[in-house]
Amino acid sequence: MDIIALLGDFTVRSVALGAALVGLVAGALGSFALLRRQSLLGDTLSHAALPGIALGFLVSGSRSLTPILAGALISGALAALLVLLLTRTTRIKDDAALGVSLSLFFAVGTVLLTYAQRQVGAAQAGLDAFLFGQAAAVLPADLTLIGGVGVAALLALALLWKEFKAVTFDADFARSLGLPVLALEALLTLLIAVAVVIGLQLVGVILMVALIVAPAAAARQWTRRLEGMVALAAAFGALAGVAGALVSASARGLATGPVIVLAASALVLASLIAAPERGLAWQAARSWARRRALGSHRVLVDLLRLGQDHRDPAYASEQGMLDTYFGGPTGHVLRRLRRRGLVERVEHMPEEGAHWVLTPAGRSQARELQAPFGGRPERDEGATR
């Protein structure tokens, strides 16, 4: 099925919209998780949602999304509390506490899920869709719930923007301003949990962390402002969500979660490579340019030194001499320097090869290059030759 036909389908269109919103919320709140170094908390929150999902189904006895998501949020919050308790009262550090809490809750969730699936109607309920995500299992009523909760979370983020920013950047200072730091941090964690929970049906508990981390990590590469980072992460998240929903809808039975995660990871990879300043390609290009400049710098400085040795600033150096000194042809470097107006070619003796002199601009640049090493020629002589 091609994309245009897919978009014409009402169900597909609404699922794509839901996925876009899930990605939007996850990207925006994931930025805060990333900056607070809480990315892995997202993983614990999503895995720990599983027992809540199973219990929500068992208690309500129906597939209705509201009790399931409520259960997921509660068990996720309990897991986060366990992490806090472990790090505060024992010598266990963050990473180990996250691991302990994640595996404990996920194990309980798996047991409960197995039990729930033996109940009548559980097979139709499609509870296992919550493991890897299944866009096709999302009902219109579910989308209303996901949308409502997602918009509420974004609204809270917008309202408390400057408070969240202050607490994330400098908690002690925020405290000195009189902000209730602990409450704000708890609320931020709760909002991140909400972002995780509303994505569970589409992305699944196992891979949901990617939608929290990946768009934020990709966005971090491109921007120097928090506003820009959050907006871009939201856009990346939405893009990954829509891509995942559409691909999964066109290929029957393909789980949505992995496709969304693949799309988000592609965005991360592209950002790591291509982003200005922080990107690998950018850095490689800059280092290549520097390497190229190194040759020019050496030739410039040596032309200056030759002039100083001969007590003649306008001393014309023969190209063959420079070639011998560098142990290779210098013609291409000299031509590049001439294009930049730093050296000039002069005719010295008709029977000899090309000669080169520094232009005034070249001389001042050569002096600048020499300056960090003392600049004075008599010191240079002893130091480098």
Partner 1 sequence: MTVVAGVHEPALALHVEDLTASYAHQAVLWDVDLNVPPGVLAAIVGPNGAGKSTLLRCIIGALRPNAGHVYVHGRPYREQRRRVAYVPQRTSVDWDFPTTALDVVTMGLYGRLGWFRRPRRTEADEALEALAMVGMDAFADRQIAQLSGGQQQRVFLARALVQDADLYLMDEPFAGVDATTERAIVDLLKDLRARGKTVVAVHHDLQTVATYFDWLALLNVRVIAQGPVTEVYTAENLRAAYGPRVVLLGATEGAPAAAAASPAGGPPAEEARTPVA
**Closer of 43 and 163 to partner 1 (Cβ):** 163
Shortest gap between Cβ of 9 and partner 1 (angstroms)? 39
CA angle in degrees (0–180, nearest 5) for 196-202-205: 50
**Closer of 49 and 174 to partner 1 (Cβ):** 174
Shortest gap between Cβ of 373 and partner 1 (angstroms)? 22
Among residues 283, 282, 181, 261, the alpha carbon closest in space to that of 213 is found at 261
Shortest gap between Cβ of 303 and partner 1 (angstroms)? 34
Shortest gap between Cβ of 173 and partner 1 (angstroms)? 6
**Closer of 177 and 285 to partner 1 (Cβ):** 177
**Closer of 232 and 316 to partner 1 (Cβ):** 232
**Closer of 92 and 171 to partner 1 (Cβ):** 171
Shortest gap between Cβ of 260 and partner 1 (angstroms)? 25
Shortest gap between Cβ of 169 and partner 1 (angstroms)? 5
CA angle in degrees (0–180, nearest 5) for 243-244-250: 90
**Closer of 162 and 311 to partner 1 (Cβ):** 162
For strand 355-358 and strand 343-346, is the pairing parallel, antiparallel, or unpaired? antiparallel
**Closer of 119 and 223 to partner 1 (Cβ):** 223
**Closer of 15 and 174 to partner 1 (Cβ):** 174
Tokens describing residue 3: 């994309």
**Can you give the C-alpha Rg of the chain in angstroms?**
31
**Closer of 115 and 169 to partner 1 (Cβ):** 169
Shortest gap between Cβ of 368 and partner 1 (angstroms)? 21
Residues contributing to the site for partner 1 (CB under 8 A): 35, 159-163, 165-166, 168-179, 181, 220, 223-226, 228-229
Please name the residue that has the structure tokens 């280092």. 287
Shortest gap between Cβ of 46 and partner 1 (angstroms)? 25
Shortest gap between Cβ of 37 and partner 1 (angstroms)? 8
